[in-house]
Structure 1
Amino acid sequence: MSKYDSYFLMKAPEVPDYVQEKLSYFDKGAELECKEIGDGNLNYVFRVKDGKSGKSIIVKQAGEALRISADMHISTDRGRIEAKILGIQEMYAPGLVPKVYLYDGVMCAMIMEDMTGHTMMRTGLINHEIYPLFADHVTTFMVNSLLRTTDVVMGHKEKKELVKSFINPDLCEISEDLVYSEPFIDYNHRNNVFLPNQDFVREELYEDQALHLEAAKLKFEFMNHAQSLIHGDLHTGSVFINKEHTFIFDPEFAFFGPMGYDIGNVIANIFFAWCNGDAVISDEEKKAEFCTWCLQTISDVVDLFIEKYNKVFDEYATDRMAKVPGFKEWYLEQILSDTAGVAGLESIRRIVGMANVIDITTIPDEAKRTRAERIVITLAKKYIMNRETFRCGADYLTAIKEAVGKYQS
């Protein structure tokens, strides 16, 4: 009988023994060391490494409560969902997600490829690193993993079976609360609002009833539009990257929802990096280089997505009615509207919600952070209130220029 026959939350010293029992990855006499490396809010992530060979592997275990709040309990079934979706994403976007070696339903733990030679993208962006291939890689990932899991491409019965398998109520509830509700109506009193912007947030967010209506529409779109198998949390903390390659991971929020949710998250988080660079980089030449790359990346994510969408749609669409002239364009317009709306929602919730981003919170100058937050909120409202007008990368650049211009330092 094994100690791992019933669930418990592992500590780092226990993980090497667990790996050796569950997987023939390391040699019998391997000198294994383990370190907890996770900094997320949901899970416990460990790297196990052999001091002799240098081989390493990752173990990710789902806890029963959120690390940011012991009062928030969620199902450990999210680990199964994550392991399964990584397999599906590997099938549609090979090489862009880490390989899963084992999922253990008892310990709610996954053993997976260690993404050595890569850096968490948010960390790299905080250090103002530029990743020239990111827009190309992430759009390849999104178009293939998203469009090819819609009814446009996938057999309808097969898709419905997957929808059942990926029902993810606990983590969807987190998104419904933290992204779509609390940033606008702080009914749980969990929002984190930067003191110099309290009055601004109250006036621009809490008291704007027209904004609340649009957020409500987007919330019910999120809850009821089982369009595609989305990642569900595709921010720069869910990307490991270097100059040549990109890994996308951490999809425990996955479920069948609107495609634009993933695309909008990417756009919003790249703009957070722009805000940090604009506020922190003192060398004007370096600032211009980094901030220009951020803006170009936002534009490229939109335009490359559209370009690849058209190609994948034409190649893989199976539904007869989806091939009716004009449908492809109509379907894309829906996706692009959702994308802009979610870019706004993600922007707002990361400024005032429960889970802020270090791109903004680490800006040391109070006045510059205040300005950055106001730019983000102003821009986000434009995305949400005018989401039907964002149809290409240039539309985003125009809106960004207007928002930044309003708060010239």
Structure 2
Amino acid sequence: MTIPQHRLRRRATSAFAIAAAAGLALAACSTGSGEPAASESQSAEAAEASARLALTTDGGVVVLDAETLEPVGDVPIDGFLRVNPAGDGEHVFVTTSQGFEVLATGATSGDEPSLTGAVFEGDAAGHVVLHDGRTVLFDDATGDYWAFDTDALTDSDALPADMDAYESAAAHHGVAVELADGTLLSTLGDEESRTGVRHLDADGTELARFEECPSVHGEGVAADEHVLFGCQDGVLLFTGGEFQKLDSPDEFGRVGNAYVTDESPIAFVDYRDDPDAEGSLLHRVGMVDTAAGTWEILDLPEGVEYTWQGVERDHHGDAWLIGTDGALHMLDGETGELARSIPAIDAWEGPAEWQDAHPYLLIDDHTAYVTDPASSRIVAVDLESGEIVAEGELDAAPSEMALAG
């Protein structure tokens, strides 16, 4: 079975606050002649701009106003779709049969959502990684990946003019991340297996490698640029130019996805301890101290399970997961203790295949967005009060979502 794409995790900042700040900046600008900086129509357009959610469904992408959860437009696209934030406040990447297609959400302009025409072509477009102002896209079909400035996307059919291209030794389901010093970490593997990670300079010359991370998958960059990857038997850390392997406490202990913030050395990871388990449900969570080079495995309450797409970090660094009981459960970002539980949606069962629509969790500041495919709806939960502050009804079951704003 193809392993699901890693979910990008970055420190949450309020999209609403960003939009508000942008509006204040526009109001403060003026021309040298003393005329208003924007026309009435431009001001009205700016007033309509707000954070937006892009949700994939069977048949396309639906875009909602992130505050009201009212639909603002949809873009029909055939086939199985993935979606990832582009990191520039306006665009999202839609993974289609063509590759990574760029969709303008209208979050910064107030316009209706539409595909820009820009396509990073790939037969098996996979991971999207944002870090330190740089974006890396990985094509599993070739092992090729591209790195460029996160803010370089345009509303045209033109790709970023300044884009670096790299090749893997062989095609595989992989991932790469560019570090602040311009060097890269890229996975090793082929169509049969994946074995580890290599460290490359900006020209693609190999500096070091580590090949004892079977089934390497996903990445996460924690505080002080401590990078971790999941292995079938533990976690691989990269810090200060050195690799360090943390073995699983169980004979089989697979890690596939990391949930990090750029302010905390603590990373939460999904954890599977049964190699024969069917389906996508998990009942334990890993907690990695990337600074100390240690980790522990946390047990969830009996009857509470989750999937890789139902975990997020909030702006405090705490981890939240949407459990099969329909509640949001908070794990303290420093101790790992289960601190709170908030009812959100009805109880649900795990998907037969990971591609099947099942609850998806996204957190922005103190608002948690939870999809409920069984009822074709989405809810917004205020994590401070525990109240549902908005609900949205959809025409089709939502699968994945990404925020722009």
TM-score, normalised by the number of residues in structure 2: 0.23
More strand by share: 2
TM-score, normalised by the number of residues in structure 1: 0.23
More helix by share: 1
